[in-house]
Structure 1
Amino acid sequence: RVTAGNFLEQFDFFLFGFYATQIAQVFFPAQSEFASLMMTFAAFGAGFLMRPLGAIVLGAYIDNVGRRKGLIVTLSIMASGTILIAFVPGYATIGLLAPALVLLGRLLQGFSAGAELGGVSVYLAEMATPGRKGFFTSWQSASQQVAIVVAAGLGFALDRWLSAPVIASWGWRIPFLVGCMIVPFIFILRRRLEETQEFKARQHRPDMKELLGTLARNWVVVIAGMMLVAMTTASFYLITVYAPTFGKTVLHLSTADSLLVTLCVGVSNFVWLPIGGALSDRIGRRPLLVGMTVLAIATVYPALSLLAHAPSFVSMLLVLLWLSFIYGIYNGAMVAALTEVMPVQVRVAGFSLAYSLATAVFGGFTPAVSMALIHMTGDKAAPGYWMSFAAACALIATFVLYRRGASALAPAH
């Protein structure tokens, strides 16, 4: 019930990335495919710029009124953006109003997502049984992987049932309409949630002024938290949202092959995330955070280089499954760590702000940055530079947080 909103968010985000080519043609027509896709991915990334604002405004709301009420509000705003994107007519019909409305839909989704992830992660952390916080919070990300699998499976079915011209014209809207149909069921699930006992026990609820003051005093933790999340967002959007476009436009693999790879990556992520969370409960967060970031720095670019020089379905699958392993184990430990290091009075707002800043700076623009790096360098493995940079930021953040004596990052028993 708690992670259902995460499912809807990632379902829509993945669809936007996968159908970027069709969305570019319908809403952002330009003289070249590169320019059209760049405008589409810029609109995709613009939604992430709204996340920090949503993190502060909606995060403060959730810290004040409660987890349950706040998660219903974030779902309402997210659903509005989803419905808007699904039903907006194309550029040929309403002109510049079409891309403007698509951008508005992305901004609404970004604003709500700014606090959705934090609200869900904190709810899971506060309801977790002793010594299992890593395992519980890992299901925030695991629910997103279910969305990836469902969306990729739906896209694969459409690719088999409909012709390419039909998909380009209107078929790409079908998965978005399915997302709209899911919304009422998620509302029913969310309304049945109970408030966490930990929140009920709190005597003081901070107002906006107090919340901003607490965040300002803990700015080092927020910035370090942002860098900690950088590895998660860059790797996730590289191996899921951008991967299908990378497979089709850069490696020249078929749509079906690209979708099958992404579907397998979603399943792999779903398996490794709870394992990473459970491992962090047993051996601590820090060893996994350090180990996976070092592994990413050492192996991501070489792996993508091998794929670029010998593109095939099998090689793309193996490389992305390796990156999925790194992402899953790292993120399983990271989400719990981030909920533990934030001041309890502003736990949702602090977590959401750190996560949203990372997603705005690193994650949301990963598709656009990846395309730009390939275009500028001529190196098809150039996205590896971006993920390695994000991993280096996360490694530095891990050392900073532990040097500050963030003993809360150790697993609770």
Structure 2
Amino acid sequence: MTVSTSAHEAAVNAPGVSRESRVRSVFRVTCGNFLEMYDFTVYGYYAAAIASTFFPTGNEFASLMLALSVFGAGFLMRPIGALVLGAYIDHHGRRKGLILSLVLMAIGTACVAFVPGYASIGLIAPAIVLFGRLLQGFSAGVELGGVSVYLSEIATKGNRGFYCSWQSASQQVAVVFAASLGVLLNHLIPAADMNSWGWRIPFVVGCLIVPFLLYVRRSLRETDEFAARRHRPGMAEIARSMVQHSRLIVAGMGLVIMTTASFYLITAYTPTFGKVVLKLSSLDSLLVTVCVGISNFIWLPVAGAVSDRIGRRPVLLVCTVVAILTAYPAMQWMVAQPSFGRLLIVELWLSLLYAWYNGAMIVALTELMPVEVRTTGFSMAYSLATMVGGFTPAIATWLIHTTGDKASPGAWMAFAALCGVVATLVLYRSPQSRERYKAA
């Protein structure tokens, strides 16, 4: 038996549930989301240095592809983490599962931060880095879903999109923080030292903030909606439900591909793209990434709030169609005459498309999933999509190397947007389904 919608609304709108307590709950739950995205982002920022430290092959392209492939390998573990940890959260509660995911993420970060390089311990070094990335991927498989579901269950009536948007907004804080730290380090540490050992500093910083984040998340309350639920499915029941709703999960995966491909293109890949492909300075590329993170942070809550008013479907369709039409031409314009200004303009444009789409998409995905297995279903769809979109830095690098077209990453984003269009039309194919998935 599940809690009714009216019961949920009564709980979250109760007089004793103050606005201040909801703000605190949003902060507590999204703090782990910050660490997860911070770790993934700094790996992308310093991929070239990581490549030379752990994957020296004598060929710059081959080393970079190995480093980016290990970056992508973390996403291969996400579906497993979604199923195992998602089932744990759906059975034992949102709070316990989110604490566990944070601990696992911290261990993975430490593996990358402190392991000696290939020159010191040989193949053991890249093996430990790969293990750390796989552990981070396993943890991240449920982090986004757990946070999004928690926010949807504490949201006030008519504001679910706005609340859920803070899951992604917290990631943008991580992007800005990581890029700003990179800018500072570029001022303080010579480039040769950054490539040799300075790139480890951001990972060490990530480890140092773990105790604070763990303290904050331990004070998280269980959601009223989950606490009121009498039936809490076990692993076997959840697994059967995943098979039963496989079509819904695949469609949800298509919905998320646009988010993951565009996000990793404009954040994790930007420093490498600006430095290696456009031949701009590391400082220029990191400054652009800071601006992208700020742009995302501003637009995500706006988009979530707008989708609460006009529905998810119009926002999703407009953003994906515009991305199909403009992503590649914008990249062509940028690479024709590479400069800080053109990189900034194009990245901010792609940021606008990503943020408006994602602001509506996250809440739409929580509304699509059956309440009994909401965390697992959301996490499975999201994790399967990141197995595609998470390889965006590697795919973009391969496309440029193979085709010789520096604008080809724009074609990859356009393809991801096409997946979003198809998924949106499938999921909202009838008036009944559109009504069902409208904001509560």
The 2-side partners of 1:321 and 1:58 are apart by 35
1:252 aligns with 2:276: no
What's the CA shift for 1:302?
Answer: 0.2
Alpha-carbon RMSD across the aligned residues, in angstroms, is: 0.7
The 1-side partners of 2:188 and 2:65 are apart by 29
What's the CA shift for 1:385?
Answer: 1.3
Counterpart for residue 275 of structure 1: 302
What's the CA shift for 1:217?
Answer: 1.0
Counterpart for residue 421 of structure 2: 395
Q: Deviations over 1:315-339 (max 9, x none)?
A: 0000000000000010000000000
315, 321, 334: which one aligns with 2:348: 321
The 2-side partners of 1:271 and 1:306 are apart by 26
* SS of equivalent to 2:231: coil
Aligned residue identity for 1:347: R
Counterpart for residue 409 of structure 1: 437
* SS of equivalent to 2:156: coil
- Identity over aligned residues, as a percent? 64
The 1-side partners of 2:70 and 2:192 are apart by 24
Aligned residue identity for 1:382: S
Counterpart for residue 210 of structure 1: 237
The 1-side partners of 2:177 and 2:229 are apart by 39
The 1-side partners of 2:36 and 2:196 are apart by 24
Aligned residue identity for 1:410: K
Aligned residue identity for 2:341: V
264, 274, 287: which one aligns with 1:237: 264
Counterpart for residue 208 of structure 2: 181
1:380 aligns with 2:406: yes
Aligned residue identity for 1:5: G
Counterpart for residue 90 of structure 1: 117
1:287-298 superposed matches below 5 A: 287-298=314-325
Aligned residue identity for 2:304: G
1:67 aligns with 2:94: yes
57, 62, 72: which one aligns with 1:35: 62
* SS of equivalent to 2:395: helix
* SS of equivalent to 1:3: helix
Counterpart for residue 310 of structure 1: 337
Counterpart for residue 10 of structure 2: none
The 2-side partners of 1:189 and 1:366 are apart by 32
* SS of equivalent to 1:403: coil
Aligned residue identity for 1:402: Y
140, 144, 148: which one aligns with 1:121: 148
Aligned positions, number: 411
380, 385, 388: which one aligns with 1:353: 380
What's the CA shift for 1:32?
Answer: 1.0
The 2-side partners of 1:228 and 1:120 are apart by 18
* SS of equivalent to 2:398: helix
The 1-side partners of 2:357 and 2:408 are apart by 22
Aligned residue identity for 1:332: G
The 2-side partners of 1:403 and 1:168 are apart by 51
Counterpart for residue 367 of structure 1: 393
1:138 aligns with 2:165: yes
Counterpart for residue 8 of structure 1: 35
Gapped regions of structure 2 (runs ≥ 5): 1-27
Counterpart for residue 263 of structure 1: 290
What's the CA shift for 1:204?
Answer: 0.4
What's the CA shift for 1:203?
Answer: 1.0
The 2-side partners of 1:66 and 1:221 are apart by 23
* SS of equivalent to 1:241: coil
TM-score between both structures, scaled by the size of structure 1: 0.99
1:104 aligns with 2:131: yes
The 2-side partners of 1:340 and 1:110 are apart by 24
Counterpart for residue 194 of structure 1: 221
The 2-side partners of 1:408 and 1:210 are apart by 25
* SS of equivalent to 1:113: helix
The 2-side partners of 1:289 and 1:64 are apart by 32
1:19 aligns with 2:46: yes
Where in structure 1 do 4 or more consecutive aligned residues deviate above 2 Å? 404-408
The 1-side partners of 2:286 and 2:167 are apart by 23
What's the CA shift for 1:408?
Answer: 3.0
1:337-348 superposed matches below 5 A: 337-348=364-375
Aligned residue identity for 2:437: L
What's the CA shift for 1:301?
Answer: 0.2
The 2-side partners of 1:256 and 1:408 are apart by 47
The 1-side partners of 2:420 and 2:179 are apart by 29
The 1-side partners of 2:436 and 2:191 are apart by 52
Counterpart for residue 7 of structure 2: none
The 1-side partners of 2:58 and 2:197 are apart by 21
1:172 aligns with 2:199: yes
* SS of equivalent to 1:2: helix
Aligned residue identity for 1:256: L
